[in-house]
Amino acid sequence: MRPEVFKMVDRVVAIDSTNKTIHCQGMVPQESSIFDGHFPGYPIMPGVLLIEAMAQTTGWLILARNRFEKMPFLATVKEAKLRTFVLPGQNLDLYSEILHEGSGFVVAKTHTTLEGKPICSAELTFRVLSWPEGRMKATVLKVAEHVQFPVADYVDA
């Protein structure tokens, strides 16, 4: 993870776009400027960044379902639950499942675990639109390769 630049997913572990599920991982860094104020002497991962990690996980799944032809934008966070603290150095497992797709929106349920124990969960809604700018898709495809996303399976040549 590089939370300072909003790169929250380190690796796509498994993706099944037919069954609309994904599993990713993210390692909370030992050192990060986000911990300077959250909290001095007791660094914990901010809850909003945990939600962002779940949103990015879901985003990879939506990108796969749309073969990288459209981009997801987070629109709504519902029923977010943060159950415990996440500390520097912890490796998170991030899961998402699409519940509904239609009319340019996607609704997904998502959750995060640490060593199999629930950390947080939410229902997320995304607006799915055409890429707003040409370079953005190329940048996302580069990040996809970095997080071991199986690009060749989901991008038309």
Residues of the chain with pLDDT > 70, as a percent, come to 99
Phi-psi region of 89 (alpha: psi -120 to 50; beta: other; left: phi over 0): left
Where do runs of H (alpha helix) occur along 104-147? 134-146
Is 38 designated active site? yes
Query: What's the rounded mean pLDDT across residues 57-86?
Result: 98
- DSSP 8-state symbol, 28: P
105 and 35 in contact (C-beta within 8 Å)?
Answer: no
| Segment 11-58, tens digit of pLDDT | 999 999 999 999 999 999 999 999 999 999 999 999 999 999 999 999
| pTM recorded for the entire structure | 0.95
pLDDT of residue 1: 82
Confidence label for 100 from pLDDT (cuts 50, 70 and 90): very high
- Which tokens belong to 69? 């032809």
CATH topology of domain 3-154: Thiol Ester Dehydrase; Chain A (3.10.129)
Give the model's pLDDT for residue 156.
81
Q: What is the mean pLDDT of residues 90-102?
A: 98
Extents of the domains making up the chain: 3-154
Query: Average pLDDT for residues 74-97, to the nearest whole number?
Result: 98
- Say if residue 5's pLDDT is above 90: no
